[in-house]
Amino acid sequence: MVKNITIFTTNTCGYCQMVKKYLGAKGMDYEEVNLDEHPHRQAEALQLSGAMTVPVTVVTKHDDSQEVIVGYNLARLAPAVA
Amino acid sequence: MKSRDRVVVYGAEWCADCHQSRQLLNEHKVAYDYYDIDSDPKLKAEMLALTNGQNVIPTIKIGDRIVQEPTNDELLTMLDLKQPEPETVTHDVIIVGAGPAALTAAIYTTREDIDTLLFERGVVGGLAAVTDMIDNYPGFPEGVAGLTLADDLRKQAERFGAVIELGEVTAIHDEGKYKRLETTSGDMLAKAVLIATGSDYKKIGVPGEQEYYARGVHYCATCDGAFYRDKRIAVIGGGNSAVQEAIFLTRFASHIDLMVRSTIKASDVLQTELKKYVDDGKITVHLETSTDEIVGVNNSVTALKGTHQGKPVEIALDGVFVFAGLLPNSQFVKDSLELDEIGFIKTDDNLQTSIPGVFAAGDIRSGATMQIASAAGEGATAALKIREYLENRPHPAQN
């Protein structure tokens, strides 16, 4: 079961829109961290994902385990939020 | 229908049902004689003799059998042309991809009530959606953000009923009247298919490129540029995309080295724009300079090694963005369609591929000009050609 979802995005990132569109279509709530508006949180995204890219989607389960999905990767995103 | 059965239609020009039945016969390429009962009293008498005096049109004689005012279903059943309903999900048109060519085609097909499903495995809008600014798409005097154009194209297609499925088509099989598509949502059938999968930026295949992917080596400036605020980067390539994205990246990076293997191929307008940044010292252009290796330490890129006129070049930097040519997304049809030597899909003048009923448009098509405006134009043309194909395609009984 999903407890919460955080997506790191930027204003110009098309793949970020796709992640938001997918979660929106599933009726799932998420917190968006826009790195253009909050550049000080870049290090956090980098630490979680190990990659200098967005989108980074962090799915926290009810047991507080986390799954981090880098990029728009439906093969990983879909089961993570199912 | 037995092949010897002669088909005769008794009707009149003012009779809408007569036109409907004749159209159905035409669509299924059934030869018939048409008798206009208003044109000759003898024809009307002949029909009344067949119908025991019932003055109903259309009256259709198939061999020895008579049917009056048939529904399309009834007429097809009498002609033995009733097609069994396929068990698999079926669409009139499945479009593979959802970039400018695909979305434009969908606008055209759905406006004509042709049931259309699009499959997109990546980003709706394709490469256009991850391009910062598009200056040469007609109708936008100040240019348009790629993401905005992509979103507007999507909204326009969805307004007319296009459905975009987020998933992937992994193979296409020709089954005559229907094309079977293997997809991540299961097998589907389509009467016609449009492949508009476009291209992705090509990898340059140098040491370090794979190793530092997304940790110093990038292919999407609009996604990853923000990680390079006040840092030094290189952009590899000399075409429109490389110059455009280098200019975009100046909003983040402290300095950009543009590594061009031969000469700059970008448009004059972009070159003029580029010159402003070169004059400001923000971008340095390295012509006739190959990129040979991307070097890093502790998971971070630190330098780029290359060669200029036989001499080694080394530039200290923090990241590399690659926009050096395009790779066609045609892997899933490499065994089923005829491709050119690079992997782009070959088409005829009707944008039809080597499988009848399977069309290709946009950047994936061999000979495409790799322009968004051209892709949109090809999408429109493909939609019209698909409509023609759907109107004239053979019935399964004739396959």
pLDDT per residue over B84-98, tens digit each?
Answer: 655 678 999 999 999
The CATH architecture of the domain made up of B7-78 is: 3-Layer(aba) Sandwich (3.40)
**Residue B326: Cβ-neighbour burial (10 angstroms; 0-12, 13-18, 19+):** buried
| Per-residue pLDDT at B86 | 59
Domain of A48, in residue numbers: 6-16+30-70
Query: pLDDT tier at B338 (50, 70, 90 boundaries)?
Result: very high
pTM of this prediction?
0.71
Specify whether the CB–CB gap between B162 and B106 falls below 8 A: yes
The pLDDT tens digits of the residues spanning B163-172 come to: 999 889 999 9
- CA gap B185, B199 in Å, rounded: 23
| Per-residue pLDDT at B399 | 40
Task: Give chain B's length.
Answer: 399
- CB-defined contacts A:B, below 8 A: 79
Q: Domains in chain A: how many in total?
A: 1
Evaluate whether residue A61 is within a structural domain: yes
Per-residue pLDDT for B388 more than 70?
yes
- CA gap B214, B137 in Å, rounded: 30
| Per-residue pLDDT at B3 | 55
Per-residue pLDDT for B135 more than 90?
no
End-to-end CA gap in chain A? 8
The pLDDT tens digits of the residues spanning A59-76 come to: 999 999 999 999 998 889
Both tokens of residue B103?
Answer: 């979305």
Q: How far is B300 from chain A (nearest CA, A)?
A: 10
Per-residue pLDDT for B2 more than 70?
no
Residues A74, B226: C-beta atoms closer than 8 Å: no
Least trusted range by pLDDT, from A43-47, B12-16, B269-273? B12-16
The pLDDT tens digits of the residues spanning B216-264 come to: 999 999 889 999 999 999 999 999 999 999 999 999 999 999 999 999 9
Instruction: Output the CATH code of domain B217-324.
Output: 3.50.50.60
Instruction: Output the CATH code of domain B89-200+327-398.
Output: 3.50.50.60
For residue B319, which residues of chain A lie inside 8 Å, CB to CB? 52
**Residue B291: Cβ-neighbour burial (10 angstroms; 0-12, 13-18, 19+):** buried
- Is-catalytic flag, B220? yes
| Per-residue pLDDT at B182 | 95
| Per-residue pLDDT at B398 | 44
Q: Which of B123, B145, B218 sits opposite A18 (nearest CB)?
A: B123
Say what the ipTM of the complex is.
Answer: 0.84
Q: Which of A17, A36, A53 sits opposite B224 (nearest CB)?
A: A53
| Per-residue pLDDT at B4 | 62
Residues A18, B319: C-beta atoms closer than 8 Å: no
Query: pLDDT tier at A1 (50, 70, 90 boundaries)?
Result: confident
- Is-catalytic flag, B224? yes
Does A24 contact B at CB distance below 8 Å? no
Could you tell me the residue ranges of all domains in chain B? 7-78, 89-200+327-398, 217-324
| Per-residue pLDDT at B397 | 45
The pLDDT tens digits of the residues spanning B147-206 come to: 999 999 999 999 999 999 988 999 999 988 899 999 988 999 999 999 999 998 899 999
Least trusted range by pLDDT, from B70-74, B238-242, B313-317, B357-361? B70-74
Reading phi first (left if > 0) and then psi (alpha if -120 to 50, else beta), residue B47 is in alpha
The pLDDT tens digits of the residues spanning A8-53 come to: 999 989 899 999 989 998 899 999 999 999 999 999 999 999 899 9
- CA gap B288, B285 in Å, rounded: 10
- Is-catalytic flag, B33? no
Evaluate whether residue A38 is within a structural domain: yes
Selected residues 27-56 of chain A with any CB under 8 Å from a CB in chain B: 35-36, 39, 42, 46, 50-55
Specify whether the CB–CB gap between B95 and B124 falls below 8 A: no
Is there a shared CATH topology between the B7-78 domain and the B89-200+327-398 domain?
Answer: no
